Amino acid sequence: MNYWPLLGVAVIVIGFALRFNAVPVVVTAALVSGLLSGMSLPALLALLGKSFVSSRMLLLFVLTLPAIGLLERAGLREHAQRWMARMQNLTLARLLIGYLLLRQLLATVGLTGVAGPAQTVRPLLAPMGEAAAEKILPGLDQADREELRAIAAATDNVGRFFGEDVFIALGAVLLIQGFYTQHGIDLSPLAIALWALPTAIAAFVIQSLRVWLYQRRLQRRAAALRIEEAN
């Protein structure tokens, strides 16, 4: 057995340990493993190109990111913050919980690529969340902004992760069905999706509570600052 192609794994471990960019690390590891396994360079490049084109989701991100970058350069984040500042009745908790609900509902019908960290969280949700937080506590510092961005990203992740398991045509649901079938347990994809529904509801409630508690923490800090200024 030829163990030399396993050096590609070492390349990934070393690259991630040194905090190099993930894309060139993975491509380099693929080239190392392919060349050491005896593939010619043209054949290896053809395989990488075919895999890239066949991965439709990756191609979607490649086409989406430049458009998002151009919109951000044109001031999309600043416009989103100004929109949020004008919406007096839209609080931080309402914004994030509403997005969580929408994200989860879209994921339950298989529309996982409609929203996401690159498409909505970075250019829209996070800036709007910062503007909503500044209405509660003006003058947010950098640590507050980073925490708020993390909460916005977590909201998106929870909505997709726990919502997509309810979609019966998801690959993970079919994988679960195949696993149970191998062990003599007959489950339909619909039954698996229905069993995932209580978990999705619990995840929505828990994340909503976390968002509400974060807003309450900002409100308490703002009240404490007002008391200090009054004294």
- pLDDT tens, position by position, 175-202: 778 888 888 888 887 888 888 889 999 9
Q: Please determine, for residue 154, whether its predicted confidence score (pLDDT) is greater than 70.
A: yes
Does 176 fall in a domain?
yes
Let me know whether 91 and 204 are in one domain: yes
Let me know whether 181 and 213 are in one domain: yes
Does 100 fall in a domain?
yes
Q: Please determine, for residue 216, whether its predicted confidence score (pLDDT) is greater than 90.
A: yes
**Average pLDDT value for the chain:** 84
Does 59 fall in a domain?
no
Question: What pLDDT score was predicted for residue 102?
Answer: 94
Greatest mean pLDDT among 16-20, 59-63, 118-122, 152-156: 152-156
* 70 or 109, greater pLDDT: 109
Let me know whether 47 and 76 are in one domain: no
3-state secondary structure 88-122: CCCCHHHHHHHHHHHHHHHHHCCCCCCCCHHHHHH
User: Residue 205 and residue 212: Cα distance in Å, rounded?
Assistant: 10
Percentage of the chain modeled with pLDDT above 70 = 89
Q: Please determine, for residue 61, whether its predicted confidence score (pLDDT) is greater than 70.
A: no
By CB neighbour count within 10 A (0-12 exposed, 13-18 middle, 19+ buried), where does 70 fall? exposed
Percentage of the chain modeled with pLDDT above 90 = 28
Please count the structural domains in the chain. Answer: 2
Does 74 fall in a domain?
yes
Whether residue 17 contacts residue 23, with contact meaning beta carbons closer than 8 Å, is answered with no
The total number of residues shown for the chain amounts to 231
Does 183 fall in a domain?
yes
Does 60 fall in a domain?
no
Does 35 fall in a domain?
yes
Let me know whether 29 and 98 are in one domain: no
Q: What is the mean pLDDT of residues 102-127?
A: 86
pLDDT band at 101 (very low <50, low <70, confident <90, very high): very high
User: Residue 117 and residue 138: Cα distance in Å, rounded?
Assistant: 26
Sign of CA dihedral 18, 20, 22, 26: negative
Let me know whether 202 and 88 are in one domain: yes
Q: Please determine, for residue 59, whether its predicted confidence score (pLDDT) is greater than 60.
A: no
Let me know whether 43 and 90 are in one domain: no
What stretches of the chain show up as alpha helix (H) in DSSP?
Answer: 7-17, 22-36, 41-54, 56-73, 76-86, 92-108, 126-136, 142-164, 171-182, 189-230
3-state secondary structure 144-175: HHHHHHHHHHHHHHHHHHHHHCCCCCCHHHHH
Let me know whether 100 and 34 are in one domain: no
Let me know whether 196 and 115 are in one domain: yes
Does 72 fall in a domain?
yes
Q: What is the mean pLDDT of residues 130-148?
A: 89
Which residues form the domain of 195?
65-230
Let me know whether 70 and 126 are in one domain: yes
Let me know whether 49 and 127 are in one domain: no
Let me know whether 101 and 31 are in one domain: no
pLDDT band at 153 (very low <50, low <70, confident <90, very high): very high
pLDDT band at 205 (very low <50, low <70, confident <90, very high): very high
Let me know whether 84 and 146 are in one domain: yes
